[in-house]
């Protein structure tokens, strides 16, 4: 699947495979930069997600401690609060799975474009 046009049959890949087209090399370099920027964005979003997960864990822990001090015994968190935190946890796991899949696709695209750039440079060295 092509990162730029989101379909399996991409004219870009065909043209990149022709070493005589120098502008394709430039396009591949720009595509690599865009892919790296997208990967950086995904990494930042994953970091923000980790912070939210820790906040939910902390909220549940504080609630349990409050219940323990109020009742003098170990108590479970309020069921509604627990269910809400658990639902948020599930949503975040689903988001994380989707992001991991996107990251995997980005890694594949990066490797593809790196390969095409190397092939182009090697072909150019041979002709020079």
The domains of the chain are located at 11-127
**Which pLDDT value is given to residue 73?**
57
Q: How far is residue 123's CA from residue 107's CA, in Å, rounded to a whole number?
A: 24
**Which pLDDT value is given to residue 1?**
43
Q: How far is residue 114's CA from residue 120's CA, in Å, rounded to a whole number?
A: 10
Those residues of the chain that have pLDDT short of 50 are 1-2
- Closest by CA to 115, choosing from 28, 8, 41, is 28
Q: Provide the whole-model pTM.
A: 0.41
**Which pLDDT value is given to residue 23?**
64
**Token pair in block for residue 111:** 């490797």
């Amino acid at each position: 699947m092509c990162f730029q046009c989101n379909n399996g049959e991409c004219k870009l890949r065909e043209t990149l495979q022709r070493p005589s087209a120098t502008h394709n090399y430039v396009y591949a370099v720009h595509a690599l930069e865009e892919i790296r920027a997208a990967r950086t964005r995904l990494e930042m979003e994953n970091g923000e997600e980790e912070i939210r997960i820790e906040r939910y864990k902390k909220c549940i822990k504080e609630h349990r401690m409050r219940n323990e001090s109020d009742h003098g015994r170990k108590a479970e968190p309020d069921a509604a609060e627990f269910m809400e935190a658990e639902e948020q946890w599930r949503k975040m796991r689903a988001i994380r799975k989707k992001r991991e899949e996107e990251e995997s696709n980005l890694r594949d695209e990066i490797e593809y474009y790196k390969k095409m750039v190397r092939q182009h440079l090697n072909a150019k060295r041979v002709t020079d």
